[in-house]
Chains A and B, each alone.
Chain A
């Protein structure tokens, strides 16, 4: 129970931090912000690694492996495509 309360505390505080940090995004950055935060939500990868690596049963290993694949696509693809977009924004600034 004590652990639950601690986790809940962290959860609520993190929500507030999230609102505070992203309250004023200029529309120009809406798409990169979405794909960048999307990549961060691939953090489930950490849980997937443990599932796939601890090999508790064949089933959990298969589930873990599939989760590693999905989450890695999310993380790698998300950060890369965000970078690609942001480079486009940056490129022009230097030329003008």
Chain B
């Protein structure tokens, strides 16, 4: 096939990616969007296989079979609660592939030509740096979400200096390779330093900030592919990579805004750093917390007309989404209006709660975004908070000194009665007590999320 025809096929693939992403951002067309993206990928792969430089197909096919088998198994077996770590893992693999491709292209170019164009070395260095940070950063994020690496933020003195040294060292090494292309084998040392940077960038970040980390790494994996496109002089890589880079940045911005924090603050410090004094919690809770039982809550629900359920990461951790669906159906059958209020950063990745509730067959017409649901809490009889904490903490609104001051929250405290299902009074990720738990209209239902919802259902059926 001539180069022109190949490039036209790549152009078609790029157009399919753009249309696919466009469709992915609307619920009605999302399935089609994903299929269009896959079709674009297929076209790009087939055309590439016709490339005249390919002398043997065995190795490529072996790679396809192995990769497709692993990918299919992972995609089919993963539970919906495990979605954040799977996305992190796939992300990392994309970044890792970029590192290897750029490295291989640099070796080949160094062997063939005596003077390497600086476009090649700059792009190669960028690809190695971003790709390695993406790969290792994503693996650490995966480990944290899977519980293999401690989820807590691991901070130490001199942390920022150490990370800055790693960054400067990798940049200096990159500059050296660009100025002195004969040292191109140093690429692998650059990759090693960037790998350390990726690890130490993510290790200090706590579990609840993972939505931001994952979206940012998603963006990086796109940029790494884009840089590889510059190395190979391949436009479809550049276009697809920049699209993903841009979409990742948009999502990162949405996440940061939902926490009222800057990206720098999420990445380099801020919340969860210093635990608040214990005396603080006693001041807030002392003698004011009212515990309740499933039977009492069931009685309240019997007379309610409107109930809003606020899910958080605790629902995912307790795998309570199916029990919640049963409760939802039971309440609906009693002609009680039930809605779900979803905070943008609830869970461990953007949209995490939506996916879990969709898995449990809860119609998405009953899922409400924060801005939509907040004005309705005053007309809500009962708000059930299930495994959420910081996103319903009224201090964000009332206490300007609070570490989460100004963060947009769900105003559940405005509901007539608030039922909080939680194991204990332990603080959420922000490490601060929640005055909601001690409010006059709040009842605490202490226990495991799934068990408590099931107890509620039993009590409702008996009552």
Residues of A within 8 A of B (CB): 1, 3-4, 7, 10-11, 14-19, 21-57, 59-61, 63-93, 95-96
- Measured in the bound complex, the distance between the Cα atoms of B45 and A76 in whole Å is 12
Residues of A within 8 A of B63 (CB): 48, 52, 64-66, 68-69, 72
Q: A37-B218, A41-B244, A53-B51 are in contact. Are A14 and B30 (CB under 8 A)?
A: no
Q: Output the nearest chain A residue to B135 by Cβ-Cβ distance.
A: A70
* Any A CB within 8 A of the CB of B377: no
In the complex, per-residue mask of B58-88: 1 if CB is within 8 Å of any chain A CB, else 0: 0110111011101110111010100100110
Residues of B within 8 A of A32 (CB): 24, 30, 34, 351, 355
Residues of B within 8 A of A (CB): 17-18, 20-22, 24-27, 30-31, 33-35, 37-38, 40-41, 44-45, 48-49, 51, 53-57, 59-60, 62-64, 66-68, 70-72, 74-76, 78, 80, 83, 86-87, 90-91, 93-94, 96-98, 100-105, 107-108, 111, 117, 119, 214-215, 218, 221-222, 224-226, 228-251, 254, 342, 344, 349-352, 354-355, 358-359, 361-365, 367, 369
Contact of B33 with A36 in the complex, beta carbons under 8 Å:
yes
> Whole-angstrom distance from the CB of B73 to the nearest CB of chain A?
9
Q: A34-B251, A38-B218, A64-B59 are in contact. Are A47 and B53 (CB under 8 A)?
A: no
- Measured in the bound complex, the distance between the Cα atoms of B240 and A7 in whole Å is 13
Residues of B within 8 A of A17 (CB): 18, 242-243, 246
Interface of chain A: mostly helix, strand, loop or mixed: helix
Residues of A within 8 A of B367 (CB): 28
> Whole-angstrom distance from the CB of A24 to the nearest CB of chain B?
7
- Measured in the bound complex, the distance between the Cα atoms of B246 and A19 in whole Å is 6
Q: A27-B354, A28-B367 are in contact. Are A84 and B104 (CB under 8 A)?
A: no
6 of the cross-chain contacts (CB-CB < 8 Å) are A11-B238, A27-B351, A31-B351, A40-B240, A49-B60, A55-B55
Q: A31-B87, A36-B37, A41-B225 are in contact. Are A53 and B243 (CB under 8 A)?
A: no
- Measured in the bound complex, the distance between the Cα atoms of B32 and A83 in whole Å is 9
Contact of B358 with A74 in the complex, beta carbons under 8 Å:
no
Residues of A within 8 A of B94 (CB): 38, 41-42, 44, 70-71, 74
Q: Output the nearest chain B residue to A6 by Cβ-Cβ distance.
A: B235
Contact of A37 with B21 in the complex, beta carbons under 8 Å:
yes
In this complex, the member of A4, A51, A61, A79 whose beta carbon has the largest number of chain B beta carbons within 10 angstroms is A51
Residues of B within 8 A of A18 (CB): 21, 242-247
Additional pairs, 12, CB under 8 Å, beyond known A18-B242, A33-B351, A81-B87:
A21-B25, A24-B25, A38-B87, A38-B244, A42-B225, A47-B101, A52-B59, A63-B107, A70-B94, A85-B358, A87-B31, A90-B31
Residues of A within 8 A of B111 (CB): 56-57
Q: A27-B342, A31-B355, A46-B237 are in contact. Are A22 and B67 (CB under 8 A)?
A: no
> Whole-angstrom distance from the CB of B437 to the nearest CB of chain A?
26
Q: Output the nearest chain A residue to B119 by Cβ-Cβ distance.
A: A4
> Whole-angstrom distance from the CB of A42 to the nearest CB of chain B?
5
- Measured in the bound complex, the distance between the Cα atoms of B119 and A67 in whole Å is 22
- Measured in the bound complex, the distance between the Cα atoms of B297 and A85 in whole Å is 33
Q: Output the nearest chain B residue to A47 by Cβ-Cβ distance.
A: B101
> Whole-angstrom distance from the CB of B170 to the nearest CB of chain A?
20
- Measured in the bound complex, the distance between the Cα atoms of B22 and A9 in whole Å is 22
In this complex, the member of B55, B60, B93, B352 whose beta carbon has the largest number of chain A beta carbons within 10 angstroms is B93
Contact of B237 with A44 in the complex, beta carbons under 8 Å:
yes
- Measured in the bound complex, the distance between the Cα atoms of B96 and A3 in whole Å is 26
Q: A37-B243, A47-B101, A70-B93 are in contact. Are A77 and B72 (CB under 8 A)?
A: yes
Q: Output the nearest chain B residue to A91 by Cβ-Cβ distance.
A: B361
Contact of B64 with A11 in the complex, beta carbons under 8 Å:
no
Residues of A within 8 A of B254 (CB): 30
Contact of B56 with A53 in the complex, beta carbons under 8 Å:
yes
- Measured in the bound complex, the distance between the Cα atoms of B251 and A61 in whole Å is 36
Residues of B within 8 A of A24 (CB): 25
Q: A38-B87, A49-B54 are in contact. Are A92 and B101 (CB under 8 A)?
A: no
Neighbour of B97 across the interface among A10, A39, A71, A83, CB < 8 A: A71
Contact of A89 with B60 in the complex, beta carbons under 8 Å:
no
7 tightest Cβ-Cβ pairs between the two chains A and B? A72-B67, A18-B246, A68-B63, A30-B351, A77-B71, A53-B54, A30-B350
Neighbour of A72 across the interface among B34, B66, B240, B250, CB < 8 A: B66
- Measured in the bound complex, the distance between the Cα atoms of B342 and A85 in whole Å is 18
Contact of A38 with B221 in the complex, beta carbons under 8 Å:
yes
Residues of A within 8 A of B248 (CB): 34, 37
